[in-house]
Amino acid sequence: MSVGYEHVDVKELAKRSIALGYTPDVLTEAVADVCIMLALMAGRNAKETSSLVNEGRWPNYSWAPFLFCGPQLSAPNPSVKRTAGFVGFGRIAKATLARLVPFGYTDCLYAFNPQSSKPSAEHDAGDKALAERLGLKSVSRVDLHTVAAQSDVVFVLAPGGPSTYHIVDEPFLRKMKKTGVLVNASRGTLVDSDALAKVLKEGGIWAAGLDVVEGEPKIPIDHPLVREPRSVISTVTCAIYDF
């Protein structure tokens, strides 16, 4: 029926002897692709620049090549440390991380929700093996606010539900770098939309790329994230692809 099943009452299904089918890995690569797309579009001001063309304003626009410059996804040179951050670190996050390696990313920080288990020796060994396989300097499990503070791009890829509701809130966003980009391709409820719009408007972070928004698809044209020029929103394209 879908990749996740947190929206289903599994206990009630069991009582009624109803089987539940889900497809945990069918969209992994497709979602990872869209994560990179959103990071690129948000970081390089794709919304602002495309609207300039689509609204017919480009011919009358003065030449200002640096006006829409933004933080590039790739490292400017091999010696520069680039850190990818993840809220949630399952199959999709790992597939996204693998796609970031050619862009020159050197390190990875990730966090689960606050109620999940603490790191173990098995976790540490798995992180080390992943870093070696991808050619990264480190893959480390840390707390949420360390992910926010030290990452160049933060990808939100955790399950939905009460334990992750607004896990990306205003304090989290305030800890991010001013050049930081936030990407959410999991569930809209994980990110506090009002807080994100506020922080974007104030220049607290650079931009956001969103494949999901809380309340979708009822997102009006005057929604604060729709009005925000550095918020790129797509209509759940992660779950749609063609071979």
Burial of 123 (0-12, 13-18, 19+ CB in 10 A): middle
Q: Which residues pair with 154 in a beta bridge?
A: 85, 182
Mean per-residue pLDDT, 32-44: 95
Q: Of 55, 85, 35, 64, which is closest to residue 211 (Cα–Cα)? A: 35
CB of 160 within 8 A of CB of 132?
A: no
- pLDDT tens-digit series, residues 121-130: 677 889 999 9
- Measured CA to CA, the distance from residue 219 to residue 50 in angstroms comes to 21
Measure the CA–CA gap between 27 and 32, rounded to whole angstroms.
8
Q: What is the pLDDT of residue 227?
A: 94
Domains with residue ranges and CATH for the chain:
26-239 (3.40.50.720)
Mean pLDDT of 148-160: 96
The pLDDT value recorded for residue 215 is 92
Percent of the chain with pLDDT over 70: 88
Cβ neighbours of residue 225 closer than 8 Å, sequence gap 6 or more: 193, 196, 197, 200, 208, 210, 213, 219, 231, 233
Buried b / exposed e along 83-94 (16+ C-beta atoms within 10 A): bbbbbbbbbbbb
Q: What is the pLDDT of residue 1?
A: 52
What confidence score (pLDDT) does residue 119 get?
62
Greatest mean pLDDT among 4-8, 77-81, 85-89, 233-237:
85-89
Strand order in the sheet with 231-233: 138-141, 107-111, 83-87, 153-156, 181-184, 207-210, 231-233
Could you tell me the pLDDT band of residue 151, with boundaries at 50, 70 and 90?
Answer: very high
Question: Residue 64: pLDDT above 90?
Answer: no
pLDDT exceeds cutoff 70 at 239: no
Average pLDDT over residues 155-173: 95
Locate all alpha helices (DSSP H) within the chain, ordered by sequence.
10-15, 28-43, 46-54, 91-100, 121-134, 144-150, 170-175, 193-201, 224-227
Calculate mean pLDDT across residues 127-134: 96
- Rounded to the nearest integer, the mean pLDDT of the chain is 89
pLDDT band at 24 (very low <50, low <70, confident <90, very high): low
Q: What is the pTM of this model?
A: 0.88
**Range of weakest confidence among 50-59, 102-111, 232-241:** 232-241
Residue % of the chain over a pLDDT of 90 = 62
